[in-house]
Amino acid sequence: MFRKLMDFLRGKLLIHISGLSPERFLNLCAARGLEINCLKATEEGFECRMSLRDYREARGLARKAKVMLHICEKRGLPFLLFRYRKRKAYAAGILLSLILLYSLSVFLWDIQVVGNSYYTDDIILTFLKENNIRHGMQMSDIVCDELEQALRNQYTNITWVSAQISGTRLIIQVKENFGLLEIPEKIEEPGDLVADRDGVITELVTRVGIPLVKAGDEVTRGQVLVSGRVSILNDGGEIAGYQEVTADATIRARVVEEYSWERSIFYEEKRVIDKSFRGVSLRIGENRVNARKSDEPEAYHYRITEYWQPCLFRNFYLPITLEKTTDYTYEVLQRRMTEEEQTQSAQEELQEYLREWQEKGGQLLEQHLSLTPGALKLTVTGNLVLEGPFGELVPLGELSQDETIPEETEEIMTE
Amino acid sequence: MIPIPAPSDLKEKLLMSAAVLTCQGQYEVIIENYRSIKSLTETKVEVQTKTCVVTVSGMDLMAVYYTKEAMKITGKINKIEYIQK
């Protein structure tokens, strides 16, 4: 490949050698260090390929050996340049294209953002735009270190960022972290864990405090589950004092919740009855060329405008936007839900209700619901048996004088 | 059995300007250490060396390159002869 390229640049000739002693000519060429390729015998002599530079030197040797050299074919850049020497515009075009290629290579033409999921390309590109990093700017004006720092400062969830320039492309690689970004503040205030509703304890693991209930116990709202007041006994087994701690435990319980929900069985449906094309408009930069009426949509009409903006590479949008506007005429229909729709609607609402509970780690054990379709309203009533995290932390109450030592069902555990 | 010359002998032969022929199959031969080309046709190539004339006979013979140091002959080679002066 390299040899072929060099042959093209230097220029290669196919020459025909004829005369009295072509072998002598070949030997003279070899003795002078000239390279002969593809040498083969023909009816009238020899044929070979030779570079332009070697041919110029070989002409003298041909006279010496009394042979005739006839050029059969010319190939390569020197001959092309010679052939097109009078075509100034052609040469100027090539020169101009080279200049253009070089001048365009100093600008930024593409920005790629890699590794982002939460912060979309648009968010990061908008930020770059605010920091004067935009398509078409000079590459030399981009300071990658500053850009990286600015991105890290702006978006705290971006833990690592790398900006690098590759050709005419700016590649921004980011790594996002949405794990534990902030250490939750530890509540230092002493407190008890109490039941936030009625239920049956299914699991109790105490970390700090004295558990007052055990798995299987039925508890009522407000009942202390884990006490934050730890008694200190003296050698005689009497209470010498109390140590106040923040009760901490994993408590799960089964609870029964009343569920009631209702909605109208009628709903409005918009049905498109007519569609009319309003026209197109072209926006170039800040200027707009309208080819449509600029009136507002009438009643029972809505308007959709579709934008089309040509894009080079992945995200280099040219400042030209074509807008196509269409008006839709609709009518509003009052519809009554079918039985299937009513059931589906009730199920969707229940799922939405349970979603928050399930996000906390809870689960639905049983459901006893009845769907009552009325003349105007759909009603769902019943109860749900749920199992999940239980209890809330409340500050310690005042110590009453007749407070007795709580019965220790498990070993006192402290941090 | 023809004795294969030891490397030291080969060096001596080269110093004596003996031609070096490297054949690759039936279709290629590279000749080094020669003096001049005597004749070249499609069927026969005669190369003058310091000690003898090397004749390569065959069909569609062609010198792919021909320089001061070496020449490469391609084509269907039938016979290589060493003709003493």
* pLDDT value of position B9: 64
- pTM of the predicted structure, to 2 decimals: 0.42
* pLDDT value of position A372: 82
Residues A163-176 have a mean pLDDT of 88
Q: Whole-angstrom Cα distance, residue B26 to residue B74?
A: 9
CATH number of residue A13's parent domain? 3.30.70.260
Query: Please, which contacts does B17-24 make with residues 24 or more away whose CB atoms are closer than 8 Å?
Result: B17/B49, B17/B50, B17/B51, B18/B49, B18/B50, B18/B51, B19/B47, B19/B49, B19/B50, B19/B51, B19/B52, B19/B54, B21/B54, B21/B80, B23/B77, B23/B80
Burial A20-45 (b: 16+ CB within 10 A, else e): eebbbbbbbbbeeebbbbebbbeeeb
CB-count exposure of residue A209 (10 Å: 0-12, 13-18, 19+): buried
- Could you tell me if residue A56 is inside a domain? yes
Backbone phi, psi, residue A73, to 5°? -150, 145
CB-CB contact of B72 with B64 (8 Å):
yes
* pLDDT value of position B14: 60
- Could you tell me if residue A225 is inside a domain? no
- Could you tell me if residue A240 is inside a domain? no
Task: Assess whether A77 and A9 both reside in one domain.
Answer: yes
* pLDDT value of position B85: 67
Q: Under an 8 A CB cutoff, do A36 and B67 touch? A: yes
* pLDDT value of position A186: 67
Is pLDDT at A406 greater than 60 in this prediction? no
Is pLDDT at B75 greater than 50 in this prediction? yes
Q: How far off is chain A from B68, nearest CA to CA, in Å?
A: 5
Q: Which residues pair with A187 in a beta bridge?
A: none
Q: Whole-angstrom Cα distance, residue A198 to residue A200?
A: 7
Candidate from A42-56, A103-117, A262-276, B10-24 with smallest mean pLDDT? B10-24
Question: CA distances (Å), A253 to each of A245, A355, A386, in order?
Answer: 23, 18, 8
Chain B residues whose CB is inside 8 A of the A48 CB are 63, 66
- Could you tell me if residue B9 is inside a domain? no
N- to C-terminal Cα separation, chain A: 75
Residues B44-57 have a mean pLDDT of 92
- Could you tell me if residue A75 is inside a domain? yes
Sorting pLDDT into bands at 50, 70 and 90, what band is A415? very low
- CB-nearest to A37 from B61, B65, B68 is B65
Task: Assess whether A96 and A78 both reside in one domain.
Answer: no
* pLDDT value of position A139: 86
Split into its structural domains, chain B has a count of 1
Sorting pLDDT into bands at 50, 70 and 90, what band is A14? very high
- Among residues of chain A, what percentage have pLDDT more than 70? 91
* pLDDT value of position A158: 87
Chain B residues whose CB is inside 8 A of the A23 CB are 36-40
- Could you tell me if residue B3 is inside a domain? no
* pLDDT value of position A412: 47
- Could you tell me if residue A255 is inside a domain? no
* pLDDT value of position A182: 60
Q: Which residues pair with A148 in a beta bridge?
A: none
- Could you tell me if residue A365 is inside a domain? yes
- CB-nearest to A40 from B39, B62, B68 is B62
Sorting pLDDT into bands at 50, 70 and 90, what band is A262? confident
- Could you tell me if residue A120 is inside a domain? yes
Mutate to test the interface with B, among A23, A27, A29, A39 (most CBs of B within 10 A): A39
Split into its structural domains, chain A has a count of 4
- Could you tell me if residue A21 is inside a domain? yes
Is pLDDT at B47 greater than 90 in this prediction? yes
pLDDT tens profile A290-326: 776 667 777 788 889 898 888 777 667 777 889 888 8
- Could you tell me if residue B61 is inside a domain? yes
Q: Which of A87-96, A278-287, A295-304, B52-61 has the highest mean pLDDT?
A: B52-61
Rounded to two decimals, the ipTM of the complex is 0.81
Q: What is the mean pLDDT of chain A?
A: 85
B75: nearest CA in chain A?
Answer: A40
Length of chain A: 415
- Could you tell me if residue B47 is inside a domain? yes
Is pLDDT at A169 greater than 70 in this prediction? yes
Domain span holding position A370: 260-266+337-388
Chain B residues whose CB is inside 8 A of the A50 CB are none
Domain span holding position B45: 24-84
Strand boundaries in A285-391, DSSP class E: 287-292, 301-308, 311-312, 316-317, 320-336, 363-373, 377-389
pLDDT tens profile B3-18: 555 655 666 666 667 8
B36: nearest CA in chain A?
Answer: A27
- Other C-beta atoms lying within 10 Å of the C-beta of residue A123: 14
- Compute chain A's Rg from CA coordinates: 44
Sorting pLDDT into bands at 50, 70 and 90, what band is A376? confident
Give the domain-ending residue among A32, A66, A82: A82
Is pLDDT at B58 greater than 80 in this prediction? yes
Task: Assess whether A300 and A314 both reside in one domain.
Answer: yes
- Could you tell me if residue B7 is inside a domain? no
- CB-nearest to B38 from A23, A30, A37 is A23
* pLDDT value of position B12: 66
Is pLDDT at A44 greater than 60 in this prediction? yes
CATH number of residue B60's parent domain? 2.60.40.2000
Name which of A80, A69, A75, A22 is nearest A52 in CA terms.
A75
* pLDDT value of position A413: 47
Residue whose entry in the numeric block shows the structure tokens 């020197």: A78
* pLDDT value of position A112: 85
Chain B residues whose CB is inside 8 A of the A34 CB are 67
